[in-house]
Structure 1
Amino acid sequence: MQTMPRTVKVAIIGSGLAGLTAAYLLTKPSEDEDPGFDVHLFEKTSTFGMDSFSISLPLPGQDQDWRVDVPMRSFQGGYYRQLITLYKHLGVKFAPRDFSYSFSLLSTSEKGRHITAEIIYNGSSGLGGVSMPSTLDNSKADLGLTLRAASKAWTTGLFVLWSIHVLFCYLRLLWLSIPVVRSAGIETMTYKAWVKQTHPTGLLARWTGFDDVWTEFTHAIMVPLFSAVCTAPEQEILDHPVEEFLDYIWLTLGTHHYVVVDGVRDVVGRLVSTVRNVHLSHLISSIQADPDDPDLVSVHCTNADGLKTYSGFHHIIFATQANRAVPLLSSYASSLPHEKRIRREAAEEQMRCLEKFTYRSTLVINHTDETLLPDDTRDHRDLNLIYTRAGALITTKTVSPQCLPSSYTMATHILPRPQGFPAHLPSVFQTTDPIVEPREGRILSVAKLERAVLTLESKQALKEFYCAKDRKWWPGPCEEALGRLQGAGRLRDSGPGIWICGSFAYPGIPLLEGCVVSARLVVERGLYKSEGVRPKHPPW
C-alpha cells in the first residue's frame, strides 16, 4: 500500500533577501518527494520587502520606466562571495561599478551653508588615485602671473605631500588589517580603542608628523566612510567592533564594486518564481500554538479583508528585524500550554538574545536637488560623503523631520542616467542619511528604514544563532553551524521549529551577504536536518 507523501508546512515572516532566499531553497526539488515543503511567505507591505521602497520614474517616449533601487544595492567582490554565487546561479546580470568618492565638510555661517570638498578619491580599487579638491586648485585672478605660479606650485606641493602621507596611512591600514598581524584581543576591541592602540609613538613618526596624519586619517576618512557603510552615527562607529572593519578592508582589497544590471526587481522575480503561497499586505499580529495541536503553530494577521489565521505550521522562519521578531515570539511563548514549559523557555531565550541587537533609523531620499553635493561641481563624484566636524553647531535651518542628526555621514549618489533619459531633465540623486533636507519640490520619494548596527554585545549574542570553526578571512571554506538557540529546541524534540535569519544573524557588518548565508544555514542545517531531507544539488 502506497503512503501519501508527507508535507511540512513552513511560514516565512519577511520578504527581504533573507526570506526570499529561504523560500527559494525550500521550493527547490529534493532527492525524493517525502517530505514536500508547503511554503507560505508573509509580507506586511503590498510588494516584496527587498523591493518595497524602490521607485519607478517614467522615461518620456518609452514604454519602460526607470527603476531606482532603494536603498542602493551595490556589493563588493571578496565580501559578498555567496551573494555573487547565488546571483550567478539565478542568472542575475551584474556589472562592475567602481565608484569614485568625494569627502566634504558641511559648515554653516551667517552667509549660508557650505559643502567644501576635502578629499577626492577616484575609485577603481585605488588605481584611480586621488585628485586635488577645488579649494586647492583655485587661481586668484588678482595676483600677478608670477605670484599665481608660485601659489600654484605651493598648493600642488602641499597636495603631493598630503597624498604621500595618505598613501602611507592606507598602506599601514592594509598591513594592520592582515589577520595574522592583528593585535591580541582584537575580537573584543572597539574602533576607538584600536585607533588609540595603533597610534604611532616612535620618534620618526613624531618628527615627520605622521602621528598627527594617522589621527586625521582614522577620523576624517575612516569614520565617515564606515558611517556611510553602516548608516550609523559617528559615536557608534567609534564604539563599533573593529575586527569587522578590518575584515571588510582585508576581504575587499583589490576587488570591484558591482551593481545589478536590471535592478533588485529582477532578483526578486527570480527568487519567488517557485513560491506558490505569497501573502502580501499581511500584517502579522501574533503567532500562537495551534489550538488543535500544540506541536504546530498558527499565524494570525490582518489584511484588507480583516483578521485571518493560517494554521498547521511545522516551522516558522523569522526573516525580519530582530526587534520585530521579539513581540511575535512573546505571543508564541504566552500561548503555549503549561506542560510545554521547555518550549516556552526556549522561545524566551531567543527573545532575550534578539533584544541584544541594536537598530538605528536611516533615511533614503530620491530627489533632484544638487545643493546636497559639494559646492564646486569639479568636486562631484559618484558617491559624495558629507559630514560635520565633531561638536560643530548646525543651524536650525538645516534641521527637519526628514533629516538625521549631524553626527551621521550624508551620502549622495549621483544616479547614472539611463539610455533615453532626456538631457533637459534634471539629474536624479539618492541621498542616504541626509543631514540637510532637499529643497521643497525637489523630493521624489522618502523611505524610512531601520538598520542593524553591530555592537560588542550583539557580536557576543550572535554566537547563539551562528557559530563557525576555523573561520578564515580569505577565500576558502570553514565549518559553519547553527547556534544552540536556533530552532527553539526543534533539533532535540518534535516541537515546532523557530528559526532566525537576516543580515544581523551572520558575522561581519550586517549586509546582504549575511541575509544569504544565514538563510541557507537555517534551511540546510535546520529544516533539512530536522526533517531528514537530502538536497538534490548544492544550493548554488
Structure 2
Amino acid sequence: MTKVVKVAVVGSGLAGLTAAYLLVSSHAEDVEFDVHLFEKTPSIGMDSSSVSIGNEDQDWRIDVPMRSFQGGYYPRLIALYTQLGVAFRQADFSYSFSVFSQSEKTHSLRTTMIYNGASGRNGAGMPSSLQDLYLYRKANRLLARAFALGIFVLSTVQLLICYIRLLFFAFPALRSKRHNNLTFEEWVVETTPTHFIWKSFRFDTIWKSFAQDVLVPLFSAVCTAPNDLINTHPVEDFLDYVWLTFGTHHYVVIKGVRDAVARLTLNVKHIHLSSPIVSVHADSNDPRIASIECATQKGNIIHHGFHHIVFATQANRVGPLLSSYAASLPPDAPTRHAVMAQINCLHEFHYIRSVVINHTDDSSALLPPDPRDRRDLNLITAVPSATTPLSPWSPHRVSPTYTMATHLLTPPPVLKDEVAVPVFQTTNPFVHINEDRILSVATLERAVLTMSAKDALRGLCRETRRAWWQSSAEAEYSLGPLQGAGRRESDARPGGLAVWVVRACGVFRYSKGVS
C-alpha cells in the first residue's frame, strides 16, 4: 500500500521550486509525496519581480534580478534545465569598469577598463579617454597616439599578469589551506608581493590596485553587496568562482525564467499564492505532524497534517516560524532542542537590501557617456569622496559603497521595431534615475556570506569527499547534522515531523553536491 507523505515547501524561488519538482517527480513505489508550495506574493517568487514589455501577441519578459548562470559554476543547474527542456543560450558578457566622482553641483564618469568577454579570449578594449588623448595634444598628435597606445599596452600586460597570478592562487591543488580561511581583504595582504624585485617594478602597488579596482567591483556586482562586505567575504568562495569560470561560458534562458517556473511547477497540484505564513505549530492531536497558518485575503487559513517542512526562503524569515513551532512543543521535547539548534544556526546569516530598476534613462551618471565605452554590463564605482548621492533624493537608491551595474538589455528580434528606445536594468543605483523613465522597481533581500555564516552552513550541509584537484564547490556534500530536525533525533518518536532548510544563505554552490 502506498504511503502518502504530506510536505510543505515554503518559498518559491529556485531552491523551493527545485525541491517541489524533485519530490513530485519521485518514483518511489511505496511513497507518494503530497506537496504544498507556499508563496507570500501573488505570483511564483522566482518570476515575481520580472516585468513584461510589448503587446498581447508578443511580449518581452525581462527577468528581475538578472538571471544568468555560469557553465563552470552551475553544472547541476544546467543539467536540471536540460532535463526540463528549458532552452538557454550562450551569453558571454562584456564589461566596462568606470569611476564616478562628484562635486557639489556636477559629476563625472571616467571609464578605466574595458573587458570584451569570453573569458578573456576577446581581449581588452581601449577606453575612449585614451583613444582621444591626441585631441588634447595639438603640438604632436602622432606622439600622443603612440603615448596612449603605450599606456594601454602596459596596463593590459599588467592586467594579464595579475589575472594569471590570480588563476595560480585559485588553482585548488596549489591553494594554501591558510588562504581558504581568510577574508578577501586578508588574502590581498597575504598575497601582495614583498620581494624586492617585484617591488622594484611596483608590482605590490599594481596587485593591490587590481584587487581593489577590478576584483572588488566585480564581486560587489556579482554578490550585489557593498564593497566593505566584499572585503570581509570568505576568499575561498571567490577563488572557487574564478577557477570554475575560467574558460567557460555564461548562459541565459531564452524565454525567461517563467519558462523554467512553468516546467518546474507543472505537476505541483497545491500552490498557495498570496499566502504569507503566520505561524507553524505542532498538531494538538498528533505532535508528530505540523499545521501551517497562513494570512490570506479571506482571513487566516490553517493547513494541517504535514510530515515534513522544507524551508526554501531567507533565513531571517525562517527563524520566527521555527520559533513559533518550537513554542508549541513541550519544553523537554527532543524535537524542540533540535529546532532551537536550527534557529541558532540561522541567526548567523545576514541580509542586505538590493534594488533593481528597469528603465530607459541613458544619462551619463548611469552609463559611460561615450558609446565606445559601453558594454553589456557597465560597472561603476564611486570614489571614496562621493559619500552622498546627487540630488534629488530618491527611495530607489543605495549607498555609494555599492558597485552600480547597468545592463544593456537586448529585445527579442520580433520586437526590435516596437521597442523604440533602449532599455536598461540597473542594479543598486547610487545616483538618481529619471522617475518618468522608470519601468519597474524591485527591492530584494540578498544574503551575504561571512566567515561566521560559512561555519554555520556546516550544520546544514557538510563536505564528505573532495579530490586533491577539486575546489570546495566541486566536492561532494551530505546533509548536515541540523537537517531534518525532529525526525533525526535518536530519542524522538519514530515518524516525527522533519524540518529541512535548503536556502539559508543564497549560495547555490552549497547544494550542488548534496545527495
Q: TM-score range by the shorter chain?
A: over 0.9
Matching residue of 1:173: 166
Unaligned runs of 5+ in 2: none
Distance in 1, matches of 2:476 and 2:116, equals 38
**Helix, strand or coil at the partner of 2:445:** strand
Shift of 1:513: 4.8
Counterparts in 2 of 1:458 and 1:512: CA distance versus 1, 3 Å: closer
Matching residue of 2:353: 361
The RMSD of aligned alpha carbons is 1.9
Matching residue of 1:308: 301
Shift of 1:418: 1.6
Matching residue of 2:501: 500
**Helix, strand or coil at the partner of 2:167:** helix
Distance in 1, matches of 2:33 and 2:382, equals 52
Shift of 1:180: 2.2
Matching residue of 1:382: 376
Question: Contact 1:83–1:513 at 8 Å: present in 2 too?
Answer: no
1:186 aligns to 2:179 (yes or no):
yes
**Helix, strand or coil at the partner of 2:67:** coil
1:449 to 441, 444, 447: 444
AA partner of residue 460 (structure 2): F
Distance in 1, matches of 2:472 and 2:322, equals 37
Shift of 1:208: 1.4
Distance in 2, matches of 1:285 and 1:342, equals 24
Counterparts in 2 of 1:97 and 1:511: CA distance versus 1, 3 Å: farther
Alignment of 1:269-288 (within 5 A): 269-288=262-281
Shift of 1:110: 4.7
Counterparts in 2 of 1:63 and 1:384: CA distance versus 1, 3 Å: same
Question: Contact 2:7–2:307 at 8 Å: present in 1 too?
Answer: yes
Shift of 1:139: 4.7
Counterparts in 2 of 1:48 and 1:142: CA distance versus 1, 3 Å: closer
Identity of aligned residues (%): 49
TM-score, L = length of structure 2: 0.95
1:133 aligns to 2:130 (yes or no):
no
Matching residue of 1:347: 339
Alignment of 1:235-250 (within 5 A): 235-250=228-243
Question: Contact 2:336–2:486 at 8 Å: present in 1 too?
Answer: no
Distance in 2, matches of 1:83 and 1:491, equals 29
1:206 aligns to 2:199 (yes or no):
yes
Counterparts in 2 of 1:29 and 1:209: CA distance versus 1, 3 Å: closer
Matching residue of 1:162: 155
Counterparts in 2 of 1:476 and 1:307: CA distance versus 1, 3 Å: closer
Question: Contact 1:82–1:513 at 8 Å: present in 2 too?
Answer: no
Shift of 1:469: 1.9
Counterparts in 2 of 1:90 and 1:74: CA distance versus 1, 3 Å: same
**Helix, strand or coil at the partner of 1:310:** strand
Distance in 2, matches of 1:395 and 1:20, equals 38
1:252 aligns to 2:238 (yes or no):
no
1:440 aligns to 2:441 (yes or no):
no
2:316 to 282, 302, 323: 323
Matching residue of 2:23: 26
AA partner of residue 411 (structure 1): A
TM-score, L = length of structure 1: 0.90
Distance in 2, matches of 1:412 and 1:443, equals 14
1:47 to 43, 48, 57: 43
1:483 aligns to 2:480 (yes or no):
yes
Counterparts in 2 of 1:35 and 1:153: CA distance versus 1, 3 Å: same
Distance in 1, matches of 2:392 and 2:449, equals 29
Distance in 1, matches of 2:110 and 2:373, equals 9
Distance in 2, matches of 1:243 and 1:476, equals 10
Shift of 1:279: 0.6
Distance in 1, matches of 2:180 and 2:512, equals 21
**Helix, strand or coil at the partner of 1:294:** coil
Question: Contact 1:399–1:435 at 8 Å: present in 2 too?
Answer: no
1:150 to 143, 147, 165: 143
Matching residue of 1:393: 387
Matching residue of 1:531: none
Shift of 1:511: 4.3
Question: Contact 2:134–2:142 at 8 Å: present in 1 too?
Answer: no
What do residues 299-357 of structure 1 show as CA deviations (whole Å, max 9, x unaligned)?
0011111110000100100010011000000000001134x521111111100100001
Shift of 1:475: 11
What do residues 113-134 of structure 1 show as CA deviations (whole Å, max 9, x unaligned)?
2221110100011111111111
Counterparts in 2 of 1:373 and 1:396: CA distance versus 1, 3 Å: closer
Range that drifts further, 424-433 or 323-332: 424-433
Question: Contact 1:107–1:394 at 8 Å: present in 2 too?
Answer: no
1:405 aligns to 2:399 (yes or no):
yes
Shift of 1:205: 1.3
**Helix, strand or coil at the partner of 1:393:** coil
**Helix, strand or coil at the partner of 2:333:** helix
Distance in 2, matches of 1:65 and 1:166, equals 41
Aligned length: 506
AA partner of residue 247 (structure 2): G
Matching residue of 1:228: 221
1:58 aligns to 2:50 (yes or no):
no
**Helix, strand or coil at the partner of 1:243:** helix
**Helix, strand or coil at the partner of 2:446:** strand
Shift of 1:399: 4.8
Distance in 1, matches of 2:393 and 2:400, equals 9
